[in-house]
Structure 1
């Protein structure tokens, strides 16, 4: 089996398990169930969920999971990988597998990872799937080497994903004064008209991305000005349009989210979520959208992104809506300025 992106080649169950953290972006913890969907032996979708407790909530878990997987069609087969003890995982894996099969999906293999051993719930051949499991060392796998060479990262856990875009108290303190000045500047520009705000946003977003692409770190004043401008929806939507789905721009928006004054985090965190989503980093996308909503529970675009991610929709579903909204907002802005 080979992955569509970066052509990581999987030749065994051990290789597949070693690849999972690179598919997700982090190492799954015990209690995780991972669903991997393939199309003609190429992985096209991977998702992770926490096994619900108490166990009777597993029905709700599968009711949500099945339609998400079905939306990835066409797919040819699925692999389930669970992490934890057999008492906890084996019954759950079988229930999830049965639900997917009942929905018309082919579950090719179910694996459980317990400590450093892999157990198959679908293979009874002791020559390839011994009862005491197959030992594996993920760091020694060829997949891990290929992933490292390709620049893929498997963070230790979900908390490590969050640390790339969340700030400490000292970082928040250092930006506050710059944000106050940027807010006053924004008020002066807004008094001229919405077109002036948008023009300032175009210049700020393009200049910030250019500096980052050239390896220049933005000053606190530049971060503050950009984060204040992003509170204007047309500017935020322009930022989405100008951002490219690659690692450099993920790093850029993670930095802006981490350094922005807390009340202004929702917009850059949502742009980060969209950029990560378009780049195939679903874990980072979900956590960035959740972070935006922690700061501003009513932030509509973050809600839309999170719901779309949870439903397994492609990022184009949101991008098209943003493009339409951005064009409408721009036209309305021009009309308002003419009326002034």
Structure 2
């Protein structure tokens, strides 16, 4: 079994357990469930969710499953699934079987149900002690060839969801820093608006192109440059231009994570949404969803972030809403998205 783009080969359940954090971007905690969709022995999609807590009403697991099944079905064609649960057997095993039965009833072949408990893997679908001993199969991710290959391929598995969020979490600027620069940029924008919307758009073209060029050249933006860019991004035409000019690679994900982190709080939604779209195109559905949530945390009515989040939770590809961005300002074309997508269902 291989990753569709990175050609990492998974030969065993231990390899798969090691690969999961690289598929979803972080190490899943206890109570997590990960559904891995395969097409002709290639991993094409992974979705993570939280199992209901022990003792929760049965309808909560049914609701989780009712959401996961159509999300995975949309990734067709799929040949089979592997479902992995994390935690103690009394909590995880019944839930894994129930989820597996739901996917089977929906016409999707479930190849294997696996439970990961600390450093052991247990198969719920294989009772051959030669390959799946009752006491589980030990594995050590730190010594796995998969971990080494993933690292070389540029894949990252962060410790948890909080570590993903830390990539774009707002930081306090020393002294007046960004707030002072943002006040100056806002005054500058007020003066520019007197020249009309075309002048604002042209300033946006210059600022976005210049900022991306600086980042690609290894130069960090000053507080004044970040403030001016984020003020310009409050205009939809400039934000959409930024989305169009941004390329689907980790360097630009890093760029928009930095802009989101440094932006003055009220100006976070636009760069966070561009970050979400960029991460989504790169196949990082977890980072994309969390960045969209960050935008909505600051402004619950930010429409594009809301559309992005709905599409992500539905397991749709980026092309589902790219027309929304390109229809008004179609200047540069948007590259094809990475088909290897990880999603997270909350």
Q: Matched residues in 1 for 2:301 and 2:52: separation?
A: 27
- Give the one of 314, 319, 332 matched to 1:316: 319
Q: Matched residues in 1 for 2:168 and 2:48: separation?
A: 21
Which residue is equivalent to 2:155?
152
Q: How does 1:318-333 map to 2 (within 5 A)?
A: 318-327=321-330
Q: Matched residues in 2 for 1:172 and 1:225: separation?
A: 18
| Residue 318 (structure 1) shift | 1.3
Q: Which runs of 5+ in 2 are unaligned?
A: 332-346
Q: Matched residues in 2 for 1:14 and 1:327: separation?
A: 46
Which residue is equivalent to 2:206?
203
Tell me: CA distance 1:116–1:149, structure 2 relative to 1, closer, same or farther (3 Å): same
Which residue is equivalent to 1:18?
18
| Residue 327 (structure 1) shift | 4.7
Secondary structure of 1:326's partner?
A: coil
Q: Matched residues in 1 for 2:321 and 2:146: separation?
A: 33
Deviations 1:234-254 (CA, angstroms, capped at 9, x unpaired): 000000000000010000000
Q: Determine which structure has the larger helix proportion and give its number.
A: 1
RMSD over aligned CA atoms reads: 1.2
Which residue is equivalent to 1:336?
none
Which residue is equivalent to 2:39?
39
**Runs of 4+ deviating beyond 6 Å:** none
Which residue is equivalent to 2:27?
27
Deviations 1:61-84 (CA, angstroms, capped at 9, x unpaired): 011111101000000000000000
- Give the one of 57, 60, 64 matched to 1:61: 64
Secondary structure of 2:150's partner?
A: helix
Which residue is equivalent to 1:5?
5
- Give the one of 257, 261, 264 matched to 1:258: 261
Which residue is equivalent to 1:334?
none
| Match status 1:126 vs 2:129 | yes
| Residue 173 (structure 1) shift | 5.1
Secondary structure of 1:192's partner?
A: coil
Q: Matched residues in 1 for 2:50 and 2:282: separation?
A: 23
| Residue 6 (structure 1) shift | 1.2
Q: Matched residues in 1 for 2:215 and 2:173: separation?
A: 23
Which residue is equivalent to 2:338?
none
Q: How does 1:1-340 map to 2 (within 5 A)?
A: 1-53=1-53, 54-56=56-58, 57-170=60-173, 174-327=177-330
Q: Which runs of 5+ in 1 are unaligned?
A: 329-340
Answer whether contact 1:172 1:259 (CA < 8 A) is retained.
no
Secondary structure of 1:169's partner?
A: coil
Secondary structure of 2:128's partner?
A: coil
Q: Matched residues in 2 for 1:171 and 1:58: separation?
A: 47
Q: Matched residues in 1 for 2:210 and 2:175: separation?
A: 23
Secondary structure of 2:38's partner?
A: strand
| Residue 324 (structure 1) shift | 1.1
- TM-score, normalising length: structure 2: 0.93
Q: Matched residues in 1 for 2:278 and 2:126: separation?
A: 40
Q: Matched residues in 1 for 2:265 and 2:313: separation?
A: 25
